[in-house]
């Protein structure tokens, strides 16, 4: 009951939620910015949200959701695009395993319609337009609708941000080690603490 599309460096979605199979609500958020990637979700919201919570909570292997004993079928779908590499991926199945994906790729009830549109564009040798692909899916899928949301990765910016973060983290680690050894500066300054805490909070 959704259309999520990835093509090139862009991910797009519809924004309709269908309640009880017949009552549509619009403006629903289906694409999330996780810092290093954008992910789109479809299907079982509780399962998809559990996966997103794990992805944003440090991605500790021991804490990864497992739906093997879930009372409902593992029906969530989650695809994403890495901000730096532009690679598409999915987390799938009861054991939430990682899968690399080809591009273009689409999921949800309107996914096949969107992918057909993209393949037609490719055959006609015109630029792939994910917004148009979602629009075409909406026209043929009663479970997709509402305003279309798009997010495009900026690979150069993502790399710059990562390098800045790594430099900041390295500086924070050096200061922490120096403070731990009891340097001539004595106690850790408030500025140093802020650098250390900010780096720790931003760590995946």
H helix intervals, 14-67: 45-56
For residue 5, pLDDT over 70 is answered with: yes
Same domain? For 193 and 161 the reply is: yes
CA distance 145 to 139: 8
Q: What percent of the chain has pLDDT over 90?
A: 54
pLDDT in tens, 87-131: 999 998 888 999 999 999 999 999 999 999 999 999 999 999 999
Identify the band that residue 1 occupies on the pLDDT scale cut at 50, 70 and 90: confident
For residue 203, pLDDT over 90 is answered with: no
Same domain? For 123 and 61 the reply is: yes
- The pLDDT, as a whole number, for residue 73 is 58
For the domain that residue 98 is a member of, what is the CATH number? 3.60.20.10
What is the longest distance spanned by two Cα atoms in the chain? 71
* Mean pLDDT along residues 67-75: 69
For residue 186, pLDDT over 60 is answered with: no
CA distance 87 to 100: 8
Per-residue CA distances from 87 to 15, 56, 97, 137, 194 (Å): 24, 19, 16, 23, 34
Name the most confidently modeled range: 62-66, 74-78, 149-153, 182-186.
149-153
- Please enumerate in sequence order all residues whose Cβ is within 8 A of that of 71, keeping only pairs 6 or more positions apart, or say none: none
Same domain? For 39 and 139 the reply is: yes
Same domain? For 85 and 179 the reply is: no
pLDDT in tens, 19-57: 766 667 888 899 999 989 999 998 888 888 899 999 998
Domain count, the chain: 2
Same domain? For 75 and 165 the reply is: no
Same domain? For 144 and 165 the reply is: no
Quick one: which H or E segment has residue 174?
Answer: helix 155-180
pTM of the model: 0.79
- The pLDDT, as a whole number, for residue 75 is 81
pLDDT in tens, 123-149: 999 999 999 999 999 999 999 999 999
- The pLDDT, as a whole number, for residue 192 is 62
- The pLDDT, as a whole number, for residue 26 is 83
Compare 42 and 181 and report the one with higher pLDDT. Answer: 42
Same domain? For 123 and 24 the reply is: yes
Domain range spanning residue 173? 156-202
Same domain? For 149 and 160 the reply is: no
């Amino acid at each position: 009951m959704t259309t999520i599309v990835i093509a090139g460096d862009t991910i797009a979605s519809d924004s309709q939620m269908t309640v009880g199979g017949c009552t549509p609500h619009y403006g629903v958020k289906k694409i999330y910015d996780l810092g290093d990637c954008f992910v789109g979700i479809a299907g079982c919201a509780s399962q998809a949200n559990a996966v997103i919570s794990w992805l944003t909570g440090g991605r500790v292997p021991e804490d990864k959701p497992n739906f093997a004993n879930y009372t409902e079928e593992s029906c969530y779908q989650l695809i994403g695009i890495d901000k730096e590499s532009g690679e598409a991926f999915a987390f799938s199945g009861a054991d939430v395993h990682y899968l690399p994906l080809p591009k273009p790729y689409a999921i949800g009830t309107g996914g096949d319609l969107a992918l057909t549109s993209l393949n037609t564009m490719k055959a006609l040798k015109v630029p792939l337009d994910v917004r148009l692909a979602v629009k075409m899916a909406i026209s043929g899928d009663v479970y997709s609708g509402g305003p279309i949301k798009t997010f495009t990765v900026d690979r150069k910016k993502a790399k710059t941000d990562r390098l800045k973060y790594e430099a900041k983290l390295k500086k924070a680690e050096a200061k922490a080690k120096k403070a731990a050894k009891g340097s001539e500066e004595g106690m850790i300054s408030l500025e140093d603490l802020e650098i250390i805490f900010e780096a720790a909070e931003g760590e995946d």
